[in-house]
Chains A and B, each alone.
Chain A
Amino acid sequence: MKNLWPQKFEENSRISAKAFLEEQAKLLPTLTDGMVYADVYQSRDPGRLAMRNDFMFHFDIRGRFLEDYRFHLLEFSHDITLYPVKFQIDDQIAKELKLANEFGDSEIKVVETPEELEAFVSAVLRSKRLGNVIGSIIRLSH
């Protein structure tokens, strides 16, 4: 029988959004004296983002001394090809980054490449709103 497969397969070398965000999550405790950390986890919720995508994740901010607290910063999803990645972020950050109008009803962003992913995540992590949230968690942890 004739082999219809290609000679070999190349592994997709582009970093996944999950791996990228997990790397960023690891840095947060060192910036907050261990008081604040981030949790990246997979979800099976039938949310709006997951409707056409196979892999859906959440990114929550947590406080080491506020054991039950979770701030839902964003969720993201992609299919097996890793890109594009569709993000839905906190509506106030969406407003701050001018992704959404003043009522926060279009807080979805699609990134097509690892470079776009880095630029977008950088903007979210440096947002004033997220800084305030992390600052409040630190204040309540003392």
Chain B
Amino acid sequence: MELRFLLEQLRDTLREAYVKFLFWNVGGRTVDKEIIALVADERPDFLVLAEYKTSTIDLLRSMVAAGIHFYLIPSIACDRITIYSNIVPNHIHHRREASRFTIKEIRSTGTKPILLCLVHLLSKLHASDDDQLYGAISLKNAIEKAETEAGHKNTIVFGDFNMNPFDKGMLFAAALNAISCLRTAERESRMVQGQVQNLFYNPTWNLLGDFIEGPGTYFHKSPSSLSLYWNMLDQVIMRPELARGLDRDSLKIIRAAGGTSFITDEGLPSVSDHLPIVFSIDIPC
């Protein structure tokens, strides 16, 4: 019993070196109470919301009142995404941005700088596969330019990609080139038709299927002959070097917080049409 307690304490201590990220597309609904419960349960270092349309300042005030000492990271042009963090805004530098993504660089003392690219890409409901592929190519180009400007590739991309891990925009070499196997991604790049294409590792593949918990973050029933029902639209991908620091057990879909269930009795998302995801990563020194 004592050994187990000590192990858990050690695990908690080790986790403190990790940076924890939480993403939720709240679907334009007023869910401040649920957000606060989620943050209180998960204690992330970064809370990233998509389609948050309520007052960002009111939410900040409510979080501070609940003992959650976050800062609101100012938005410039990407108002689809709202970012709160417990990291002082002085350490967060604004980089490339368009209406569907924003790239920030975190430069804290004691750890490597990291590029955070937060996305809310074109919806499958209103864009063709080709449009999504084009959007992914544009995003990849912006990320690579930001990496060149920053002088490093410590990059994490997460949010609502509006694509599944197996969609063209996620996998094509000229697009995000995000593959399911870290050992393969550790090659860091592949040569395609004479061009070097950098690889991302996509651990979100591990959340597909229903062996562990639920099979996705978004449910959509289509009358067409091909219907996936569950989709894993909310994902995280990262460069292989950072991926070595990913706490595998930490990557999960959240289905309840503060005693409130985020799903119906049938297991479908209820509070928002998306479920939140969370993950932790050890940022190397």
Query: Measuring CB to CB, which residues of chain A are less than 8 angstroms from any residue of chain B?
Result: 45-48, 66, 68-72, 90-92, 101, 103-105, 133, 136-137, 139-140
Within the complex, the shortest CB–CB distance from A138 to chain B, in Å, comes to: 10
Kindly state the separation between the CA atoms of A85 and B98 in the bound complex, as whole angstroms: 21
Kindly state the separation between the CA atoms of A38 and B149 in the bound complex, as whole angstroms: 17
21 contacts between A and B (CB under 8 A): A46-B137, A46-B174, A47-B134, A47-B137, A47-B138, A68-B94, A68-B149, A68-B150, A69-B76, A69-B93, A69-B95, A69-B97, A72-B96, A72-B142, A90-B77, A103-B127, A104-B99, A105-B126, A136-B77, A137-B76, A140-B76
A136-B100 contact in complex given A66-B94, A69-B95, C-beta closer than 8 Å: no
A70 in contact with B122 (CB, 8 Å)? no
Within the complex, the shortest CB–CB distance from B105 to chain A, in Å, comes to: 7
| Contact code string B101-137 (vs A, CB < 8 Å = 1, else 0) | 0000100000000000000001101110001001001
Which residue of A45, A133, A139 contacts B77 across the interface (Cβ within 8 Å)?
A133
Apart from A45-B138, A68-B94, A103-B122: 5 A-B pairs, beta carbons within 8 A = A48-B134, A68-B95, A69-B76, A91-B99, A140-B94
Chain A residues closer than 8 Å to B142, beta-carbon distance: 72
Kindly state the separation between the CA atoms of A136 and B75 in the bound complex, as whole angstroms: 8
Kindly state the separation between the CA atoms of A104 and B131 in the bound complex, as whole angstroms: 11
B95 in contact with A70 (CB, 8 Å)? yes
A103 in contact with B174 (CB, 8 Å)? no
Whether B74 is near chain A, meaning CB under 8 Å from some CB there, is yes
Which residue of A68, A90, A101 contacts B93 across the interface (Cβ within 8 Å)?
A68
Whether B62 is near chain A, meaning CB under 8 Å from some CB there, is no
Interface SS of B by simple majority: mixed
Which residue of A45, A101, A136 contacts B141 across the interface (Cβ within 8 Å)?
A45
Which residue of A48, A72, A105, A140 contacts B127 across the interface (Cβ within 8 Å)?
A105
Using CB atoms, name the residue of chain B closest to A136.
Answer: B76
Using CB atoms, name the residue of chain B closest to A140.
Answer: B74
Interface members, chain B 147-181 (any A CB < 8 Å): 149-150, 174
A72 in contact with B126 (CB, 8 Å)? no
Chain B residues closer than 8 Å to A69, beta-carbon distance: 76, 93-97
Chain B residues closer than 8 Å to A136, beta-carbon distance: 74-77
Chain A residues closer than 8 Å to B122, beta-carbon distance: 103-105
Chain A residues closer than 8 Å to B137, beta-carbon distance: 45-47
Within the complex, the shortest CB–CB distance from B90 to chain A, in Å, comes to: 12
Within the complex, the shortest CB–CB distance from A70 to chain B, in Å, comes to: 5
Interface members, chain B 9-35 (any A CB < 8 Å): none
B93 in contact with A71 (CB, 8 Å)? no
Kindly state the separation between the CA atoms of A133 and B76 in the bound complex, as whole angstroms: 6
Within the complex, the shortest CB–CB distance from A58 to chain B, in Å, comes to: 10
Kindly state the separation between the CA atoms of A46 and B76 in the bound complex, as whole angstroms: 27
